Each structure stands twice: as C-alpha cells, then as structure tokens.
Amino acid sequence: MANHKSAIKRHKQSLKRAARNRALNSRIKNVVKSVRAAVQAGNPEQAKAALNVAKSVIDSACGKGATHWKNAARKVSRLSKAVNGVAAANPAPDQA
C-alpha cells in the first residue's frame, strides 16, 4: 500500500473509477445482449426500442471515459446494421 498521502488518495480514486467503469461496461454488455436477442427473435419494433436504449447507454459510457469513442461508434454501427437488417427482412404490416 502507498505511504504518501497523495498516493493513498490516488489509489482511492483509481478504485472508484475502476468500479464505475466496471458497472458501465457491464451495462453496455447487457443492453447489447437485449438488442441482439430482439434481432434474433425477428422483432423489428422491439429491436429498434432496444437500440435506442443501447445508443444512449453506450454514448453515456463513452462520455464518462469508460470506453473509447471509436469502440462506442463501432458497437452502435454494428447494432444499427443488425436492426436495419431485421427491419428489412420483416417489414411492418402497414408497409407490406
């Protein structure tokens, strides 16, 4: 353990940051999983709703520094592509 007062403070801060980042990254994994599940089920409305939630969570985590902005953009892009694919494959009843 650190002996200097400033080193002790830095250690405490790093533990707090690590806990926050772990929680945010876990939340990202869960929302991505929910989008993927909706895509697998072939439900475009549910997939779009889950994508909106996922975008918000991913952008929030990116803004707090938990993930790199390019990583966040790549995740959102891939999820959007998957949701658009399921929407094209299963058009809404009013569009058919």
CATH number of the domain enclosing 45: 1.20.58.110
Q: Pick the residue with more confidence: 93 or 19?
A: 19
**pTM: predicted TM-score of the whole model, two decimal places:** 0.83
- The answer to the question of residue 94 being in a domain is no
- The answer to the question of residue 25 being in a domain is yes
Say if CB 28 and CB 64 are below 8 A apart: no
Domain span including residue 46: 5-89
Number of domains the chain is built from: 1
Confidence at residue 88, expressed as pLDDT on a 0 to 100 scale: 86
pLDDT tens for 47-92 read 999 999 999 999 999 999 999 999 999 999 999 999 999 988 877 6
Confidence at residue 17, expressed as pLDDT on a 0 to 100 scale: 96
Sign (positive or negative) of CA dihedral 17, 20, 26, 27: negative
Output the CA–CA distances (angstroms, integers) from residue 39 to 45, 74, 85, in the order listed.
10, 18, 9
Confidence at residue 1, expressed as pLDDT on a 0 to 100 scale: 66
- The answer to the question of residue 41 being in a domain is yes
- The answer to the question of residue 96 being in a domain is no
